[in-house]
Protein backbone atom coordinates (compact mmCIF):
# COMPACT_ATOMS: atom_id res chain seq x y z
CA UNK A 1 0.00 0.00 0.00
CA UNK A 2 1.44 3.32 -1.03
CA UNK A 3 0.23 6.48 0.63
CA UNK A 4 1.11 10.15 0.32
CA UNK A 5 1.11 12.12 3.53
CA UNK A 6 -1.20 15.11 3.31
CA UNK A 7 -1.23 18.18 5.49
CA UNK A 8 -4.90 18.82 6.09
CA UNK A 9 -6.14 21.36 8.60
CA UNK A 10 -9.78 21.38 9.62
CA UNK A 11 -11.87 22.08 12.73
CA UNK A 12 -11.71 19.32 15.29
CA UNK A 13 -14.61 16.86 15.06
CA UNK A 14 -17.13 16.96 17.86
CA UNK A 15 -16.10 13.64 19.35
CA UNK A 16 -12.49 14.82 19.65
CA UNK A 17 -13.68 17.91 21.49
CA UNK A 18 -15.73 15.73 23.82
CA UNK A 19 -12.61 13.75 24.74
CA UNK A 20 -11.26 16.98 26.25
CA UNK A 21 -14.08 17.08 28.82
CA UNK A 22 -13.65 15.38 32.22
CA UNK A 23 -15.94 12.49 31.23
CA UNK A 24 -14.30 12.12 27.83
CA UNK A 25 -10.80 12.19 29.27
CA UNK A 26 -11.84 9.60 31.86
CA UNK A 27 -12.97 7.27 29.08
CA UNK A 28 -10.08 8.05 26.75
CA UNK A 29 -7.52 6.83 29.26
CA UNK A 30 -9.26 3.47 29.42
CA UNK A 31 -9.63 3.20 25.66
CA UNK A 32 -6.01 4.03 24.91
CA UNK A 33 -4.88 1.45 27.44
CA UNK A 34 -6.95 -1.25 25.74
CA UNK A 35 -5.81 -0.37 22.21
CA UNK A 36 -2.19 -0.21 23.39
CA UNK A 37 -2.39 -3.79 24.68
CA UNK A 38 -4.17 -5.18 21.63
CA UNK A 39 -2.09 -3.64 18.84
CA UNK A 40 1.33 -4.17 20.44
CA UNK A 41 1.57 -7.82 19.34
CA UNK A 42 0.10 -7.45 15.83
CA UNK A 43 2.77 -7.66 13.16
CA UNK A 44 2.79 -6.76 9.47
CA UNK A 45 3.55 -3.86 7.16
CA UNK A 46 0.47 -1.60 7.01
CA UNK A 47 -1.94 -0.34 9.69
CA UNK A 48 -4.86 2.09 9.43
CA UNK A 49 -6.78 4.08 12.02
CA UNK A 50 -10.23 5.24 10.95
CA UNK A 51 -11.06 8.69 12.25
CA UNK A 52 -10.11 10.63 15.41
CA UNK A 53 -6.70 11.76 14.10
CA UNK A 54 -6.11 13.85 17.22
CA UNK A 55 -5.66 10.64 19.22
CA UNK A 56 -3.08 8.03 18.24
CA UNK A 57 -4.67 4.63 18.85
CA UNK A 58 -1.77 2.98 16.98
CA UNK A 59 0.96 4.51 19.13
CA UNK A 60 2.08 1.12 20.52
CA UNK A 61 1.94 -0.70 17.19
CA UNK A 62 5.20 -2.12 15.80
CA UNK A 63 3.94 -1.97 12.22
CA UNK A 64 6.18 0.41 10.22
CA UNK A 65 3.53 1.98 7.94
CA UNK A 66 0.79 3.57 10.08
CA UNK A 67 -1.74 6.12 8.86
CA UNK A 68 -4.98 7.76 9.94
CA UNK A 69 -7.70 7.90 7.31
CA UNK A 70 -10.85 10.00 7.38
CA UNK A 71 -12.93 12.65 5.70
CA UNK A 72 -11.85 15.56 7.90
CA UNK A 73 -9.23 16.61 10.39
CA UNK A 74 -5.44 16.29 10.34
CA UNK A 75 -5.45 12.88 8.66
CA UNK A 76 -2.77 11.31 6.48
CA UNK A 77 -5.30 9.96 3.97
CA UNK A 78 -8.47 11.90 3.18
CA UNK A 79 -11.22 9.62 1.90
CA UNK A 80 -14.76 8.38 2.40
CA UNK A 81 -14.45 5.49 4.83
CA UNK A 82 -17.08 3.56 2.88
CA UNK A 83 -15.04 3.83 -0.34
CA UNK A 84 -11.42 3.38 0.61
CA UNK A 85 -8.66 4.19 -1.92
CA UNK A 86 -6.71 1.16 -0.72
CA UNK A 87 -5.91 -2.01 -2.64
CA UNK A 88 -7.59 -5.25 -1.60
CA UNK A 89 -5.70 -7.34 0.94
CA UNK A 90 -2.98 -4.76 1.63
CA UNK A 91 -3.60 -3.95 5.32
CA UNK A 92 -2.55 -5.98 8.35
CA UNK A 93 -4.34 -4.02 11.10
CA UNK A 94 -7.35 -1.69 11.25
CA UNK A 95 -8.55 0.15 14.36
CA UNK A 96 -12.03 1.70 14.61
CA UNK A 97 -12.28 3.92 17.71
CA UNK A 98 -16.03 4.73 17.83
CA UNK A 99 -16.13 4.88 14.04
CA UNK A 100 -19.21 2.78 13.37
CA UNK A 101 -21.73 4.70 15.49
CA UNK A 102 -20.89 7.96 13.68
CA UNK A 103 -20.88 6.47 10.16
CA UNK A 104 -23.77 6.99 7.73
CA UNK A 105 -23.38 3.36 6.61
CA UNK A 106 -21.61 1.28 9.27
CA UNK A 107 -22.22 -2.07 7.56
CA UNK A 108 -20.64 -0.86 4.32
CA UNK A 109 -17.72 0.50 6.31
CA UNK A 110 -17.12 -2.96 7.76
CA UNK A 111 -17.27 -4.44 4.25
CA UNK A 112 -14.49 -2.09 3.21
CA UNK A 113 -12.46 -3.11 6.26
CA UNK A 114 -12.93 -6.75 5.32
CA UNK A 115 -11.84 -6.02 1.75
CA UNK A 116 -8.61 -4.19 2.54
CA UNK A 117 -7.49 -6.57 5.28
CA UNK A 118 -5.28 -9.46 4.29
CA UNK A 119 -6.19 -13.00 5.40
CA UNK A 120 -5.59 -13.28 9.16
CA UNK A 121 -5.56 -9.48 9.38
CA UNK A 122 -6.71 -7.90 12.65
CA UNK A 123 -9.54 -5.50 13.48
CA UNK A 124 -9.77 -3.73 16.86
CA UNK A 125 -12.81 -1.54 17.57
CA UNK A 126 -14.64 0.26 20.33
CA UNK A 127 -18.29 1.24 20.55
CA UNK A 128 -20.90 2.67 22.92
CA UNK A 129 -23.21 0.08 24.43
CA UNK A 130 -26.91 1.03 24.15
CA UNK A 131 -27.82 -1.46 26.91
CA UNK A 132 -26.06 0.41 29.69
CA UNK A 133 -26.29 3.52 31.83
CA UNK A 134 -24.62 5.33 28.95
CA UNK A 135 -27.33 4.11 26.61
CA UNK A 136 -29.98 5.36 29.01
CA UNK A 137 -28.29 8.76 29.10
CA UNK A 138 -28.37 8.86 25.31
CA UNK A 139 -32.17 8.52 25.34
CA UNK A 140 -32.33 11.75 27.32
CA UNK A 141 -29.57 13.72 25.59
CA UNK A 142 -29.84 12.58 21.97
CA UNK A 143 -31.96 15.55 20.88
CA UNK A 144 -29.36 17.98 22.17
CA UNK A 145 -27.03 17.08 19.31
CA UNK A 146 -24.10 16.79 21.71
CA UNK A 147 -21.38 14.22 21.37
CA UNK A 148 -21.33 11.32 21.91
CA UNK A 149 -25.10 11.17 22.52
CA UNK A 150 -25.97 12.15 18.95
CA UNK A 151 -24.35 8.97 17.61
CA UNK A 152 -26.11 5.74 16.71
CA UNK A 153 -25.24 3.35 19.53
CA UNK A 154 -25.02 -0.14 17.98
CA UNK A 155 -25.62 -3.16 20.18
CA UNK A 156 -22.84 -5.67 20.66
CA UNK A 157 -24.88 -8.65 19.32
CA UNK A 158 -25.51 -6.80 16.07
CA UNK A 159 -21.81 -5.96 15.66
CA UNK A 160 -20.92 -9.60 16.24
CA UNK A 161 -23.48 -10.73 13.65
CA UNK A 162 -22.07 -8.31 11.07
CA UNK A 163 -18.55 -9.49 11.72
CA UNK A 164 -19.55 -13.15 11.48
CA UNK A 165 -21.26 -12.56 8.12
CA UNK A 166 -18.07 -10.94 6.82
CA UNK A 167 -15.91 -13.86 7.87
CA UNK A 168 -14.42 -12.42 11.06
CA UNK A 169 -13.75 -14.44 14.18
CA UNK A 170 -13.82 -12.73 17.59
CA UNK A 171 -10.55 -13.43 19.41
CA UNK A 172 -10.93 -11.09 22.41
CA UNK A 173 -13.20 -8.47 23.92
CA UNK A 174 -14.19 -6.69 27.10
CA UNK A 175 -16.26 -3.81 28.48
CA UNK A 176 -15.54 -0.70 30.50
CA UNK A 177 -17.26 2.46 31.79
CA UNK A 178 -19.72 0.84 34.19
CA UNK A 179 -20.31 4.00 36.23
CA UNK A 180 -22.96 6.55 35.16
CA UNK A 181 -21.68 9.14 32.66
CA UNK A 182 -21.33 12.01 35.11
CA UNK A 183 -20.02 15.28 33.76
CA UNK A 184 -18.26 16.35 36.95
CA UNK A 185 -14.88 14.90 37.81
CA UNK A 186 -15.58 14.63 41.54
CA UNK A 187 -18.54 12.32 40.88
CA UNK A 188 -16.44 10.18 38.55
CA UNK A 189 -13.95 9.83 41.38
CA UNK A 190 -16.65 8.90 43.91
CA UNK A 191 -18.17 6.26 41.62
CA UNK A 192 -14.94 4.59 40.61
CA UNK A 193 -15.82 1.58 42.79
CA UNK A 194 -18.40 0.68 40.14
CA UNK A 195 -15.62 0.28 37.58
CA UNK A 196 -13.85 -2.29 39.73
CA UNK A 197 -17.06 -4.22 40.42
CA UNK A 198 -18.52 -4.02 36.92
CA UNK A 199 -16.79 -7.03 35.39
CA UNK A 200 -17.99 -9.19 38.28
CA UNK A 201 -21.53 -7.98 38.97
CA UNK A 202 -22.86 -6.62 35.66
CA UNK A 203 -20.40 -7.72 32.93
CA UNK A 204 -22.74 -6.89 30.01
CA UNK A 205 -23.69 -3.39 31.16
CA UNK A 206 -20.49 -1.49 30.46
CA UNK A 207 -20.94 1.80 28.67
CA UNK A 208 -18.25 0.92 26.10
CA UNK A 209 -17.30 -2.40 24.54
CA UNK A 210 -14.09 -3.47 22.83
CA UNK A 211 -13.65 -6.22 20.25
CA UNK A 212 -10.58 -7.79 18.64
CA UNK A 213 -11.45 -9.78 15.51
CA UNK A 214 -9.46 -11.79 12.96
CA UNK A 215 -10.30 -12.06 9.27
CA UNK A 216 -10.58 -15.75 8.46
CA UNK A 217 -10.35 -17.14 4.94
CA UNK A 218 -11.21 -20.76 4.21
CA UNK A 219 -8.28 -22.79 2.97
CA UNK A 220 -8.01 -23.44 -0.74
CA UNK A 221 -7.51 -27.05 -1.82
CA UNK A 222 -5.32 -27.59 -4.85
CA UNK A 223 -6.96 -29.95 -7.35
CA UNK A 224 -4.49 -31.95 -9.43
CA UNK A 225 -5.06 -34.50 -12.22
CA UNK A 226 -5.05 -38.17 -11.31
CA UNK A 227 -1.68 -39.31 -12.51
CA UNK A 228 -1.37 -42.98 -13.48
CA UNK A 229 0.94 -44.58 -10.99
CA UNK A 230 2.43 -47.36 -13.13
CA UNK A 231 5.33 -49.37 -11.69
CA UNK A 232 8.67 -48.62 -13.26
CA UNK A 233 10.02 -51.27 -15.57
CA UNK A 234 13.04 -53.18 -14.39
CA UNK A 235 16.18 -52.53 -16.35
CA UNK A 236 17.34 -55.55 -18.35
CA UNK A 237 21.08 -55.81 -18.68
CA UNK A 238 22.47 -56.85 -22.04
CA UNK A 239 24.10 -60.31 -21.97
CA UNK A 240 27.89 -60.36 -21.94
CA UNK A 241 29.24 -62.02 -25.10
CA UNK A 242 31.07 -65.28 -24.42
CA UNK A 243 33.74 -66.74 -26.60
CA UNK A 244 33.56 -70.35 -27.69
CA UNK A 245 36.49 -72.70 -27.39
CA UNK A 246 37.09 -72.80 -31.19
CA UNK A 247 37.07 -69.02 -31.38
CA UNK A 248 39.64 -68.86 -28.58
CA UNK A 249 42.04 -71.10 -30.53
CA UNK A 250 41.65 -69.03 -33.72
CA UNK A 251 42.43 -65.80 -31.82
CA UNK A 252 45.78 -67.22 -30.73
CA UNK A 253 46.98 -68.31 -34.14
Average pLDDT, the chain: 84
Domain membership flag for residue 225: no
Domain membership flag for residue 165: yes
Domain membership flag for residue 116: yes
* Separation CA 120–CA 71 (nearest Å): 27
Q: 129-148 pLDDT, tens per residue?
A: 999 999 999 998 888 888 99
Domain membership flag for residue 4: no
Indicate which CATH number applies to the domain containing 59. Answer: 3.40.50.150
Lowest-confidence segment of 26-35, 45-54, 60-69, 185-194 by average pLDDT? 185-194
Q: Which domain holds residue 161?
A: 14-215
Residues 167-193: b if buried by 16+ CB within 10 A, e if exposed = ebeeeebebbbbbbbbeeeeebeeeee
Domain membership flag for residue 66: yes
Domain membership flag for residue 153: yes
Radius of gyration of the chain (CA): 31
CB within 8 Å of 11: residues ≥ 6 apart:
72
Domain membership flag for residue 224: no
Number of domains present in the structure of the chain: 1
The number of beta carbons lying within 10 Å of the beta carbon of residue 131 is 16
Domain membership flag for residue 7: no
Q: 215-236 pLDDT, tens per residue?
A: 998 764 445 555 555 555 555 5
pTM: 0.78
Amino acid sequence: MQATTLSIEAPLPGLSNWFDTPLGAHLLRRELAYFDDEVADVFGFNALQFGLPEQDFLRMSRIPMRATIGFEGAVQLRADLCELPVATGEVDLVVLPHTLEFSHNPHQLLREVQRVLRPEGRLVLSGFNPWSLWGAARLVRARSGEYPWCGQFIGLPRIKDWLALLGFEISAGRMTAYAPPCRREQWLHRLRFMEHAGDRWWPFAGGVYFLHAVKRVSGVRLITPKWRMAPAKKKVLAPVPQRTAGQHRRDHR
